[in-house]
């Protein structure tokens, strides 16, 4: 029997509207709209925190059916001030999404997020469930301490010992007992050379572990000076503050608020950044959500099976 061809990205499109929205006395966020102005609203919630959006992210959605909203979270992408961690918390970002929704005159939208984007999507949906029509989540990250320890302290290094050595390099041996704290000290410090060295090492570690098969272009992008500075500073700021969640299990404990919302969870079996245990825990707490395990994928949204499953979900929900 012939296998069904994998779905792939919709053709490239340009925004029909771009803008900047002041969300605090300090911060302005960049946003854009593409696709069908009268279509079903969907908001893309990017990862990191601190990675910003990319034009390719418009292409997960049928442009004839969807009004596609992308925005850069505080401190990254085209939002300003760049790499700022001041007034930059999970709950600021949740309310930024609400401010943007109201600004665009949207009543409800499909919320689509992966990695940290899944974290923020869950936090937003649990705070504002009446504003979410569906959820499409990928590479589940619940920001529990076991997840931070796995990737930044012990666990993933057993699979990537070569990449781990480069991640350790900026930190002297006597400070390696708490690597997130050691990186935070450098990323928030006054020495620009030390900041940049730490930012590059932190970001490249994630780049080298995100794909099942190494993606040299992605690794190079994460190692760029400007990108890595915002990415590493904002991520480390969120992780050391435990994303300002009330408990390690808040996002699981609050699942009852969103169990009525149609949802698809897409998870790579071999995700090193956000291991499948988190997606499994979310699915156990939320059995109504469909869990799609991709047997030959890691963390990235752009691996073939993961892309196929994400677009299958958005195609189904466009109706």
Q: Point out the catalytic residue in the list 51, 79, 84, 115.
A: 115
The per-residue pLDDT for 34 is: 98
pLDDT tens track for 83-115 = 999 999 999 999 999 999 999 999 999 999 999
Q: Is residue 110 part of a domain?
A: yes
Together in a domain, 129 and 259: yes
Q: Is residue 5 part of a domain?
A: no
48 vs 293: CA distance, rounded Å: 22
Together in a domain, 218 and 264: no
Mean pLDDT of the residues in the chain: 97
Phi, psi of 46 (to 5 degrees): -75, 170
Q: Point out the catalytic residue in the list 62, 254, 271, 308.
A: 271
Q: Is residue 8 part of a domain?
A: no
- The 3-state secondary structure of the chain, one letter per residue: CCCCCCCCCCCCCCCCEEEEEECCCCCEEEEEEEECCCCEEEEEECCCCCCCCCHHHHHHCCCCCEEEEEECCCCCCCCECCCCCCCCCHHHHHHHHHHHHHHCCCCCEEEEEECHHHHHHHHHHHHCHHHEEEEEEECCCCCCHHHHHHHHCCCHHHCCHHHHHHHHCCCCHHHCCCHHHHHHHHHCCCCHHHHHHHHHHHHHHHHHHCCCCCCHHHHHHHCCHHHHHHHHHHHHHHHHCHHHCCCCCHHHHCHHHCCCCCEEEEEECCCCCCCHHHHHHHHHHCCCCEEEEECCCCCCCCCHHHHHHHHHHHHHHCC
Number of folded domains that form the chain: 2
CATH number for 124 = 3.40.50.1820
What pTM, to 2 d.p., does this model score?
0.97
271 is catalytic: yes
Together in a domain, 128 and 62: yes
Q: Where among 214, 242, 270 does a domain terminate?
A: 242
Together in a domain, 208 and 292: no
Together in a domain, 252 and 132: yes
The per-residue pLDDT for 4 is: 83
Together in a domain, 250 and 218: no
pLDDT tens track for 5-41 = 999 999 999 999 999 999 999 999 999 999 999 999 9
The per-residue pLDDT for 2 is: 57
Q: Where among 201, 226, 242 does a domain terminate?
A: 242
The per-residue pLDDT for 12 is: 98
Low-confidence spans in the chain with pLDDT less than 70: 1-2
Domain range for 176: 152-242
Together in a domain, 137 and 256: yes
Together in a domain, 66 and 162: no
Q: Is residue 128 part of a domain?
A: yes
Q: Point out the catalytic residue in the list 46, 128, 157, 299.
A: 299
């Amino acid at each position: 029997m012939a296998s069904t061809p994998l779905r792939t990205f919709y053709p490239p499109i340009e925004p029909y509207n771009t803008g900047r929205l002041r969300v605090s006395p300090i911060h302005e966020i960049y946003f854009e709209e593409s696709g069908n102005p009268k279509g079903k609203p969907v908001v893309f919630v990017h990862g990191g925190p601190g990675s910003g959006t990319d034009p390719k992210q418009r292409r997960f959605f049928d442009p004839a059916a969807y009004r596609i909203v992308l925005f850069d979270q505080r401190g990254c992408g085209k939002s300003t001030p760049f790499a700022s961690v001041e007034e930059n918390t999970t709950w600021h970002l949740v309310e930024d999404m609400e401010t943007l929704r109201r600004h665009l005159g949207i009543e409800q939208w499909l919320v689509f997020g992966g990695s940290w984007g899944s974290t923020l999507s869950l936090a937003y949906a649990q705070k504002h469930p009446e504003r979410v029509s569906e959820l499409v989540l990928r590479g589940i990250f619940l920001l529990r301490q076991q997840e931070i320890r796995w990737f930044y302290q012990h666990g993933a290094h057993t699979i990537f010992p070569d990449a781990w050595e480069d991640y350790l390099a900026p930190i002297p041996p006597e400070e390696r007992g708490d690597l997130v704290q050691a990186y935070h000290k450098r990323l928030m410090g006054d020495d620009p050379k030390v900041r940049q060295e730490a930012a590059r090492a932190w970001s490249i570690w994630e780049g080298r572990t995100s794909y099942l098969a190494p993606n040299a272009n992605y690794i190079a992008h994460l190692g760029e000076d400007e990108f890595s500075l915002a990415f590493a500073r904002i991520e480390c700021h969120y992780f050391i503050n435990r994303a300002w969640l009330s408990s390690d299990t808040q996002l699981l404990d609050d699942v009852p608020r969103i169990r009525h919302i149609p949802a698809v969870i897409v998870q790579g079996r071999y995700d090193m950044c956000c291991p499948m245990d988190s997606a499994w825990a979310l699915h156990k707490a939320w059995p109504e959500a469909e869990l799609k395990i991709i047997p030959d994928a890691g963390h990235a949204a752009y691996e073939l099976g993961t892309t196929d499953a994400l677009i299958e979900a958005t195609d189904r929900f466009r109706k």
